[in-house]
Structure 1
Amino acid sequence: MGHFDENLLAAVILLRTHEEMSENDERRHLFGTTRILNSIASFAADGGLRESASWVSLRQHIYISLTSQHPLTINLTNYRHSSVFHVSDDESWANRIIFIFARMLTYVFGEDNKQLSLEQWAELDAEVAAWEVSKPWHFTPLFVESPGVSALKSNRSPWPELYVCNPAQVVGLQHYYFAKIVLAIYDPRLSKLSFGSLRLRRDSESMVRECLRMVVGLAVSNDHVQTAMFQGSHILSACGMYLNNREEQEAAVSFLEQMTRRMGWQTSHIIRGLKEQWQI
């Protein structure tokens, strides 16, 4: 029965991936993985194919929650018993920050629509900071260059260049910047009117743009990592409206168009939405 279950989960995840690639994503297979994972509590802590598949499924749920601003429909309790919190390989470190980010989404997109409290925000901020400080040294990119004329390429790029050793490190770093973006946007101090609130809001928007550039920069610099490319698309769908520089806006559109050409990922609706928000 266990063998059947893990194959069933893997099959549903593959069907869900196919569903995401279509023009009309009705999320039928997302509901399937949710039911399987929430009914078979041990999947996220079983090891092997079942545990690996459960983490892929969690990333799929994160994508839906982030881009739709709806609550996560998956039970995170099962993931707390995963082996990723007891081992120190790159995949485990990446999954730790993915779990922190998933927890963050349960707070900011909760069903009760309550604002994140300052205490909750500070707790999440501390968890993200602790991951960043304690992550292995080799998660640091091998090469970093600010936007501008590239030393490694002949063209000018509006995105920073950040070359990383392996896919798990790329995805882990992207989720770290995802978390920083959400913390900046949902900082409860932004809702309080004061003499310093305008400066705080400007700082928040600047942080969002800086982290968004890092996410897309990681994707572009490591474009052999398809998951990283998808993450770049997700963050542009959710937060691309924060880009206020025309060169960056055009580069974002180019990035999304390239994803459609290379991977078949449908981005035309994202581009239309961004152009409306940018008023171009």
Structure 2
Amino acid sequence: MISPGHKHSSPSLSQKRSPNDINHISPFSNSAFSANSSLSLSWPVKDPFEARLLHHYIVACSDWIDVCDSRRHFTREVPKRAAHFPVILNAILGLASRHLWLIEKLEEDHSQPYVDQCLQSLIIALEDPLAHWDENFLVAVILLRLHEEIGEDDEQCHHFGTARILNSISSFAADGGLRESASWVSLRQHIYVSLTKQQPFNLSLDNYKHSCVFREYDDEAWANRIVYQFALILQHVFEDAEHTNALSREKWTELNADTDEWYRTKPWSFAPLYSDPKAGDSFDGSWPALPTSQGVVAIGLQYYHLCKILLTIYSPNASLVGLAGLRARKSTDAAIRKHIRIIIGYGVSNSHCSNVMFQGSHILSACGAYIVDKAEQQACVEYLTSLQRLIGWRTDKVLAEVREQWAS
């Protein structure tokens, strides 16, 4: 077993490695993606430290991965697969080790040896097109991407790896089970990168059109529908520069109508338990109180307000000039601030669901400049600094970004 304290540099999935650099391991051998030949009726941990990591993943990490999955595949199925697929086990232990380090402020991050063992298998598998059909492969890459997201320096290596896998499979998001669940987790990961980096979506959304979420009516399905709608908006807003008419007036009208239709037809229970009719209109020293019956409800409503923010920013009215343009700009800025306050309000009101805290960080990274009141800016700083303490999400770079936006 590799010592938890062992440290060395880690390769990324986007790097090519010579066969001489690592062991000659078939991506479908016992050490990678095929089940171990000698199966044992026990959990795959070697000592109390690994048992603690596996338990931490189950109770502290999988919940926010599964927030939009009613069947909770990453909580129930993935730990069982870790008993037979070392590539998944190492990804779980790497993610849990880093998250535990952040949450409990441990002296050392012991995640790297587990991540390196996982990468040794994944890098070889990336060169084999058959590996793209293996859902265990995708699960491992998603877990590595989560490990990367909560790290100090997110280089997005595994973000590009998942896009390559998903885009190579025409119906991945409609295959059901763990495979479909993993594709939706990956979609949220790509949304995060597109929004915060303000760059084109590099994931094919056509794969998602036949997903079961568009035929089911539970809360998780409704949340995933608005997640997909937000992805569509991002796709059109941040289209490649040469596509100058990426978001035409007609397309904007269609996207806005579809967003409003989602809100109009959502279940009656898909709403906060109570909200002030003027919630978010202004900042009065605290964020709007918006408790919900389930975390997934708060997630879905946050994505609705994310949709409205981008649609407001890229509204055809935003191009008006003269006095009409000035009035429209003031109205636009006020509307954006209201949506930001509501998104953060859902987060702080439902902080027991870790995932609802992320969206406030993401939108402040992209749109923090719209917050102009000094007291509200300080409240944003306090919100961002609380994220690492509460959920292990590092916000140092986001804080630097918003402070730069406020200073300019």
State the TM-score, normalizing by the size of structure 2: 0.64
For residue 181 of structure 2, what is the amino acid of its counterpart?
A: S
Alignment deviations for residues 116-168 of structure 1 (CA, whole Å, 9 cap, x no partner): 211111111100000000000001110224479xxxxxxx8521010111122
Question: Which stretch of the first structure deviates more once superposed, 183-192 or 1-10?
Answer: 1-10
Question: Which stretch of the first structure deviates more once superposed, 108-117 or 227-236?
Answer: 108-117
After superposition, the Cα gap between the structure-2 partners of 1:147 and 1:131, relative to the gap in structure 1 and judged at 3 Å, is closer
**2:134 — aligned with what?**
5
Question: Which stretch of the first structure deviates more once superposed, 109-118 or 40-49?
Answer: 109-118
**1:114 — aligned with what?**
244
Is the contact made by 1:141 and 1:162 (CA closer than 8 Å) also made in structure 2? yes
2 CA distance for matches of 1:74 and 1:208?
Answer: 27
Is the contact made by 1:147 and 1:157 (CA closer than 8 Å) also made in structure 2? no
**2:294 — aligned with what?**
166
**1:130 — aligned with what?**
261
**2:204 — aligned with what?**
75
One of 143, 146, 152 as aligned partner of 1:14: 143
**1:222 — aligned with what?**
350
Query: Does residue 48 of structure 1 match 2:177?
Result: yes
How far off its partner does 1:195 sit? 3.5
Is the contact made by 2:145 and 2:156 (CA closer than 8 Å) also made in structure 1? yes
Residues 81-96 of structure 1 correspond to what in structure 2 (within 5 A)? 81-96=210-225
Residues 227-266 of structure 1 correspond to what in structure 2 (within 5 A)? 227-266=355-394
In proportion to residue count, which structure has more helix? 1
**1:267 — aligned with what?**
395
For residue 244 of structure 2, what is the amino acid of its counterpart?
A: K
Alignment deviations for residues 24-46 of structure 1 (CA, whole Å, 9 cap, x no partner): 11111111111111112222001
1 CA distance for matches of 2:358 and 2:280?
Answer: 21
SS at match of 1:144: coil
For residue 87 of structure 1, what is the amino acid of its counterpart?
A: E
Aligned sequence identity (%): 50
**1:143 — aligned with what?**
274
Higher Rg of the two aligned structures: 2
2 CA distance for matches of 1:73 and 1:246?
Answer: 37
Residues 152-191 of structure 1 correspond to what in structure 2 (within 5 A)? 157-191=285-319
SS at match of 1:196: helix
**1:102 — aligned with what?**
231
One of 19, 23, 26 as aligned partner of 2:155: 26
SS at match of 2:359: helix
Is the contact made by 1:147 and 1:158 (CA closer than 8 Å) also made in structure 2? no
**Number of residue pairs the alignment of both structures matches:** 273
2 CA distance for matches of 1:49 and 1:143?
Answer: 35
Question: Which structure 1 segments of 5+ residues have no match?
Answer: 149-155
How far off its partner does 1:225 sit? 1.2
